[in-house]
Structure 1
């Protein structure tokens, strides 16, 4: 299976790096473009907004010709945006370039994840889709330290050049890989938004947003939380604990997901996330924080493929728009969580109280997860009341396109 999916994993790594790489070089960028760190921070908002808009509504249009073409166009757009960022002479060009990169990233995530699931048999779909999440988490974990390291030697433009290099290598891997890629369903009927009429999908997208608010949103304030809790000097270790937990969790969840199924795992994941927040909120021991932060990172990233499987288990033909909406909701939730945390701090809430607020949000997420699990079929071929369209043949029986010239 790994031989089929690895080019998609490399593409996901480039997305993960780009998502957080700016955090390590933000002050340098602000000085270079003669603006403020807050203005540069708007680039994250521009990227997220474009990601959320492009993924659900452009992915199905682009796959109309071929899956490989859609992947290469999305990667090309992503790389072009990052190249424009690296060469940006002004704030306006910088913000525009982040919109272009975000649009490419949104389409790429949806198409790559759906392609990974369609490349393998039903009993391997959990592992295949989890591998894309593994690429995202690995790139995210590596993004900030790599960006800072390269930035120290070659400046922030060198950092963005590194992101472009990874993206170009991803394009080469996809262009040159042998074998076949499945033809994914193109836009038809009432469009991608039709999937939202399914109660399971609607609840799952709401859950993705909540988990984005709580997990990724709270991560923004990990260092001030540690300082307020008397853990000065532990910030670097905690950041790495979160990241390593995410990489290990997303790397290992695939086989249990295929064996146990998303129906069993769906309520467990946010429950572990809730437990980690409660420990961080109520305990000030460094060892407890390290363990809880690792569980936090693992639970947050594991939730992505588990939820994807729960929502697409019996509808592989609709995987692309479903994943697009799910990932858009997660990134929007992350932005909303960061903004909410900032508002709470501005309102006088101390940083060490933020995990309590996040725990409250995740408690609601546990309820949503239980509802999603109850609506999820026990097997991939089971029919469900909320199905929108008749089941089409599984991926191994769908038409394929040549991946090579």
Structure 2
């Protein structure tokens, strides 16, 4: 395994920790700045929206630049953002730090996915992307509980100082271990990268990402309420149950990467269908603590098991201009997070109970499954059309075109 993948995974760990650890520290942060928990919640929403902006804006702005220096620059931005958060004297400055750190998120994972795939043989690309995203899953399993504990014991600012140190470590690792990669063919340009969005398959893949992740996070955003108010767990048990969810992310990420190297579309269809079933069972069996624990693990596994396949699918159909499309897909993940959180909140506000976000998540994931079926059918139709054109006398093979 190329050592550069480990450096990318460390960067992913730090970025994942920045995104998710704030959830465990909201009471401390809200108290320190004298704001309501709802106002503190904007540190999460603001981060997610900034990820979408950075995924498109920074990726587009750095298209012509060599990828390794761009990754290093993004980590400098990441360290700066978390340092601002650690030093923030006010709510506004803290929000600024969150936004600055978030801007690098989408571009890092988007460009990092392209770099990770280029470090291995073509048949191992999805697995390489999965290794990079292992850092993100490890952030949920180990980083978030530890970061929350650190913040509770030594103050929430200590957690952001620790995250800044992880960013420095990742920066050094990428500088030392990731080779200077050259792109094949024409020099990269924004115009060339934008041609990726002419592909209907790229748009279908982005839609599946928004809906698939939106479904999982529609259920996950309000999971603490489901666990305590419906399943009957004590509040002290929630962090450990989230570790169980995080363990599912790790297992699903690795399994999804290996299976996607064999069949991207088949893996995505299987995982999305399984996730619909798991979410429906979760909503139905939530009063049972044992069933809840098992299904929480499975929700993480099948939900995050789609990530390597979704990222690989976008890059496959944007083969000659993958960087911006890859970054857009990271933005789509976060757009899905926002969609799911909003839809789940609407269901709770309507008085439908604390299992309603899980039902909503199952419905959104079901929509993702339908779109994925359409995408696979369109891809097969395009292949048959190309095969027929290639076989016809006097014609030459053409690239796959899927609208």
TM more than 0.5:
yes
Q: Does 1:66 align with 2:82?
A: no
Tell me the equivalent position of 2:153: 153
- Report if the CA contact (8 A) 2:68-2:178 is conserved: no
Tell me the equivalent position of 2:307: 304
Tell me which moved more, 308-317 or 329-338: 308-317
Tell me the equivalent position of 2:389: none
Q: Does 1:289 align with 2:284?
A: no
Aligned residue among 317, 325, 329 for 1:326: 329
Q: How does 1:1-400 map to 2 (within 5 A)?
A: 1-177=1-177, 179-183=179-183, 188=189, 190=191, 192-233=193-234, 235-258=238-261, 260-283=262-285, 284-313=287-316, 315-376=318-379, 383-386=399-402
**TM-score for both structures, normalised by structure 2:** 0.89
SS in 1 for 2:402: coil
Unpaired segments ≥5 residues, structure 1: 388-405
Tell me the equivalent position of 1:402: none
CA displacement, residues 132-164 of structure 1 (integer Å, 9 cap, x when unaligned): 222111113333312221112220110100110
**TM-score for both structures, normalised by structure 1:** 0.88
Tell me the equivalent position of 1:403: none
Tell me the equivalent position of 2:394: none
CA distance in 2, matches of 1:235, 1:67: 40
What is the count of residue pairs matched by the alignment?
384
Cα distance, 1:82 vs structure 2: 0.8
Unpaired segments ≥5 residues, structure 2: 384-396
- Report if the CA contact (8 A) 2:233-2:289 is conserved: no
SS in 1 for 2:17: helix
Cα distance, 1:193 vs structure 2: 4.3
CA displacement, residues 169-226 of structure 1 (integer Å, 9 cap, x when unaligned): 0001011226443448875253644433311111111111112221023201112113
Q: 1:116 to 1:93 in 2, by over 3 A?
A: same
CA distance in 2, matches of 1:319, 1:202: 13
CA RMSD of aligned residues (A): 2.3
SS in 2 for 1:385: coil
Tell me which moved more, 121-130 or 345-354: 345-354
